[in-house]
Amino acid sequence: MFVTAADSANALFTRAGKAILSQGRSVAPRGMATAELMGAYLKLTDPTARLVHLDPYRVLNPAFAAAETVWILSGSSADWIHDFNSRLAALTDHGALQGAYGPRLRRWHGQLDQLDYVRRQLTRDSESRRAVVQIFDPGRDTAGHKDVPCTLGYRFYLRAGRLEMHTSMRSQDVWLGLPYDLITTTVLHELMAGWLGVEVGHYHHHVDSLHLYAQHQETAWQLPAEEEASRWWQPVGIPWDDFDPVLKQVMVGEAVGHPVWDGFAAVLASYRLWKNGRYDDARARASEASGPLPEAMGLWYDQREQKVPLAPMPAPAIPAKR
């Protein structure tokens, strides 16, 4: 069992990668060579320090990070997410990503908004042990689809005025998946704490198979021994009644008057300009907002223009995890 705790995503990412390289065993599910650790518990003590950025070794695409977060939290399964990661199309069945988290999160079997359930459950009973969000659905996920969720579910516990969040995963690719997952889950964690009017506690990430694909292992060996702290984010809180309308605006790149969510909107709009060849306009749009995501967008553009190789994102790593 690998156990570690850190106060930033950079540290968790680095420690997890190095642990796999030093302690992992070789396995090849679906013929894909990996090094694997069975059983891992990663604790992020400051969920606001959520962005992995270790230039030049691991530089995320901030636009995909923003897009995936909004796509999931809004309950979407729409194919606009492919604009931010074209490789996702290879994982579709019947024209859609069958493992999309959003509908399961916000409309379980077309009915239950699990975020609203957790919010109401912990409002009624602050020490409840029933504030559970289910993601994995045996009725769908044993049907042989290409896209099967790696996340089993989320649990929330309110103790001593602080909200703790736990995520359980059957499988986690450290290089492609973990950095993006940490953003989505800790944003959800902080949002839920805000809806309950409590402090954000620790974020707990439990993984059965923690692994690195063979093509990322050489770069992972080069990660610096001295841990570099992640920058913390300003509060992301939005009132529950405003949540869905804000996400709809952000999704299309419109500012909403909130510093963090305006950053999300800016990087989404910026990346769309970049893809259309409007490079100067893309940089200008990203610079209209402040914070870790818009700043990281500029650095990502720098890396692209310098033609520094980025870590490849093969199809199996759909929205950063599958």
Q: How confident is the model at residue 14 (pLDDT cuts 50, 70, 90)?
A: very high
Per-state percent for the chain, helix, strand, coil, to nearest 5: 45, 20, 35
% of residues, the chain, pLDDT over 70: 95
Residue 216 host element (H or E): helix 214-221
Residue 151 host element (H or E): strand 151-159
For the beta carbon of residue 256, count every other beta carbon within 10 angstroms: 18
User: Using CA atoms, how far apart are residues 70 and 50, in angstroms rounded to an integer?
Assistant: 16
Q: Is residue 260's pLDDT more than 90?
A: yes
Q: Which of 290, 217, 307 is nearest to 32 (CA)?
A: 217
Chain segment 86-113, per-residue pLDDT in tens = 999 999 998 899 999 999 999 999 999 9
Query: Mean pLDDT score of the chain, rounded to an integer?
Result: 93
% of residues, the chain, pLDDT over 90: 90
Taking each helix axis as running N to C, give the angle between helix 214-221 and helix 9-23, from 0 to 180 degrees, rounded to the nearest 10.
Answer: 110
The pLDDT of residue 69 is 98
- Global pTM reads 0.93
The pLDDT of residue 307 is 62
Chain segment 39-60, per-residue pLDDT in tens = 999 999 999 999 999 999 999 9
Domains and CATH numbers, the chain: 2-320 (3.30.572.10)
Q: Are the C-beta atoms of 46 and 232 separated by less than 8 Å?
A: yes
Q: Are the C-beta atoms of 207 and 169 separated by less than 8 Å?
A: yes
Instruction: State both tokens at 81.
Output: 């997410």
